[in-house]
Structure 1
Amino acid sequence: MTASTVTTKPQQLPSTDSELRLPDILRTLPRQCFQKDWRQAWTAVLLNSLCVGLGYWGIVSAPWFLLPFCWIFTGTALTGFFVLAHDCGHRSFAKRRWLNDLVGHTLLLPLLYPFHSWRILHNIHHKHTNKLEVDNAWQAFQPEFYSSLGRWGRWGYQGMRGRLWWMASILHWAFLHFNWQRFEGKDRDRVRFSALLVLAFAGIALPLLWVTTGWWGLFSLWLMPWMVYHFWMSTFTLVHHTAPNIQFKPAAEWNEVEAQLFGTVHCDYPRWVEFLCHDINVHIPHHISTAIPFYNLRMAHQSLLEQWGSQLQTCRFSWALMTQITNQCHLYHPNQCYQSFQEFHAD
């Protein structure tokens, strides 16, 4: 894909030198890409907090016909909280681990997202990007598994891979991030702490919001911005890891460079979205190294463009792009990357 067109047919990814490793690519990046700057990090927290506050002020103060714009702005600004916590999870926000954990928990509390469970599961995604049966982010179902589902299971999966893609993050949040029993050792203790902290916060904040503002306050001040946040979470994750020519590979065939450099997508969004979400869309260098802070991603991306140019996966966010993905990228196919539901049921 290019920044101005949408690929309509599966294409082969660039051939990758089997001797090329991620450290070779990392050595081509400027050293400044990996340098933490506490001023930039904390300035982003301050500006993001002001934007969230401005959004809530707008929800409270604006006339009813402007509320959708206020919900969209506030939910997008809340997504910025997640992106900053995302850096905390990768330890690229601050030098001290305890500070990353403190800031990460604090920023995710308004989103009701447990920090440690997300951090641990997300790191699995980074280590095994596009590895079949291992990557835990938006991996397409294999036809055999899809066929084994009951009617409701198939219907639900069709929705999440189709026009209801924007709700998929909610299911991921609800089913994966509060079950500390699936973790072991110290990780289980950390995940339990994060989950119970979120549940305690929700148990206090949501009833208090209901008592003080009624059902409309709960709907307008919490639910709608929270839904916008999950729209962006779902969209970012889907777009940055899904295209008709991006293949998931079995472990025996998986190549780290092909997956991280050529199998992740840079997508250009409206600039206000990129500003509020701290350039989360500059995604390829983030998969080359999670140690790159968000404010250095564009520098790293420019360096990768100079090295690899048009071989990188790029696109522009649009309804045409989402239509393409949700029409075609449904089930895993070993030869043509994806098979649509229509093609599967026609066989």
Structure 2
Amino acid sequence: MVRGVYIHIPFCHQICNYCDFNKFFFQNQPVDEYIESLGKEMALWKEQLQDAQIETIFIGGGTPTSLSELQLERLLTLIHQHIPMNHVVEFTSEANPDELTLEKMQVMRKFGVNRLSMGVQTFDQDLLKVLGRTHSNEHVYKVIENAKKIDFPSISIDLMYGLPNQTMEQWKYSLQEAFRLKIPHISSYSLLVEPKTVFYNLMSKGKLSLPGEDLEAEMYGYLMDEMKKQGYSQYEISNYSHEGKQSKHNLIYWDNDEYFGFGAGAHGYVNNTRYSNHGPLKKYMQTIDQGEKPLVMQKEVTFTEKMEEEMFLGLRKNAGVSLKRFENRYGQTLTEAYGKEMEELIQKEFIVIENEFVKLTRRGRFLGNEVFQYFLR
């Protein structure tokens, strides 16, 4: 059963130095036409959408809040027109702090958006400039104030560590500022330098100074400890929340369940097939105008690949992988499928079996990618 919908808005008023998502500088782009194409794409999936039980919708980017109020209203109208809303419990939009006005928030609330995911990344003004971000801390405080003023049900921010020349003191300060906001969810990731980014080009030229592995590990350890002290539960390698405020949409990914992906460069997983859309706007929109889904790749997931994904996605969650669910899904026990790997990982104290779940130990969380490799054949 398909449970989620992801919708991609690929426009940005500023391109960040670390971002490798499909995105385009806003100026002179066919933004209104793109929004109409999104509606047409959703219509092409009408039959599958009607058969699904959609629980979550996530508008990501790029920057959804780069849209004007009218454009945002048109997008949300099309979403309601094409996506069955009767089972939706979580409706998220990503946001930039310097673009999310009170008026845009009110439009979102009018159409049922009940969760904001805001890209803060750091509260250090110098590091914000290094990242290519244009907002200030005052923008963040104002957005949170406005969101609380109109009773926005859930708010999350993203923070990054392992940034160029970032010190432990800068990291501690960012966390302290985040805790002052008293919001129910925080996502925190280490910087990954991806190809086709400004940071990648700088690194290739030896001009990007990053913290070493030891300092990055210290930052992660401090993050986990402080989150716990502040009353946040870690429910996934990079995500922390108050009770009942976990990201239900992202849990669909980590539960290895299916979801639609709409928009230029979006990815989806439907009917046992992973797919991706054309990234270039012209190609994406032309294909839709011809009455065809804008698919550039489709791959049916094999039985073995499904088991692999069950493991490396499920182990990201603190709850881990359910032994019972694995056996029900794949007709064999976890020990039958991965006995040798499990034994070795238990010996290394990277995983543990507790209450019928296999989960990462604290040590395993520091070396998650190494653990996941054990389940890839």
TM-score, with length taken from structure 2: 0.26
Name the structure, 1 or 2, with higher relative contact order (CA <8 Å, separation 6+): 1
The structure that is helix-richer by fraction is 1
Question: TM-score, normalising length from structure 1?
Answer: 0.28
